[in-house]
């Protein structure tokens, strides 16, 4: 049986966009990340959690585990909508795409973007980060993260950006095959860093499997600026304490 807590987590990603709560939050001022834990009792984990995301991945916390289990990507469906929810630009997926990790299927529900990046590598911040959000039937979450460094424009981003609107809660039909995501968004080398963390937005729920690709994708300076022009603000949560966690690679 799926617990109430896990069902609530599912609702965050399946029912709408990133957040199921009606309480307003943001990235600046009294609604910014430093105050999330105070805004709503449902957000308390943002303040008291012990395994919060994002983190700075450094040599000091890395543990070499030999060859980690590869993530099996089975992306067979297409995208359905591009949504500006005021916090990010999100692309929803039709049912059918999934990954297999830990002998378990996690279904791709959506992917969205943060600028600048939320996770860092050895203290280096990247201009953009994509989060591919997957949910298992028991409510478990797995996030695959792609870091972008400045360089050539990205084809998938070009197609998404063409459909994103400045109006908050805008929802635009958007259809590209999953093969385009696999070929032009996922890196060719799919080795990764792995750690346990949380949602990077309220309610900051923990117990999320994080997989951060070690190979970077590229994004042009113009693409980053276009994204920020639509949001009108940066949307990265500050780095969180690692605590006793380790990052496996």
**The one catalytic residue among 64, 87, 114, 131:** 87
Give the span between the Cα atoms of 11 and 203, in whole angstroms. Answer: 12
Give the span between the Cα atoms of 172 and 237, in whole angstroms. Answer: 26
Backbone dihedral region of 86: left (phi > 0), alpha (psi from -120 to 50 degrees) or beta? left
Backbone dihedral region of 23: left (phi > 0), alpha (psi from -120 to 50 degrees) or beta? beta
233 is catalytic: no
Active site residue ranges: 87
């Amino acid at each position: 049986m799926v617990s109430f807590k896990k069902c609530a987590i599912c609702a965050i990603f399946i029912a709408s966009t990133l957040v199921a709560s009606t309480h307003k939050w943001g990235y600046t001022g009294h609604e910014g990340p430093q105050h999330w834990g105070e805004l709503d009792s449902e957000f308390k984990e943002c303040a008291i959690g012990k395994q919060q995301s994002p983190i700075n991945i450094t040599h000091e916390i890395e543990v070499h585990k030999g060859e980690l289990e590869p993530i099996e990507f089975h992306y067979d469906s297409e995208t359905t909508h591009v949504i500006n929810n005021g916090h990010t630009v999100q692309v929803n997926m039709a049912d059918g795409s999934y990954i297999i990790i830990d002998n378990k299927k996690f279904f791709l529900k959506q992917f969205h973007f943060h600028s600048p990046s939320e996770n860092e590598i050895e203290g280096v911040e990247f201009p953009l980060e994509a989060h591919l959000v997957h949910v298992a039937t028991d409510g478990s979450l797995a996030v695959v993260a792609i870091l972008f460094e400045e360089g050539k424009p990205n084809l998938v981003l070009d197609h998404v950006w063409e459909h994103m609107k400045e109006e908050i809660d805008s929802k635009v039909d958007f259809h590209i095959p999953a093969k385009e995501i696999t070929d032009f968004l996922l890196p060719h080398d799919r080795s990764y860093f792995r750690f346990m963390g949380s949602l990077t937005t309220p309610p900051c729920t923990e117990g999320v499997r994080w997989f951060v690709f070690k190979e970077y994708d590229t994004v042009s300076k113009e693409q980053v600026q276009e994204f920020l022009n639509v949001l009108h603000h940066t949307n990265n949560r500050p780095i969180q304490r690692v605590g006793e966690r380790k990052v496996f690679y």
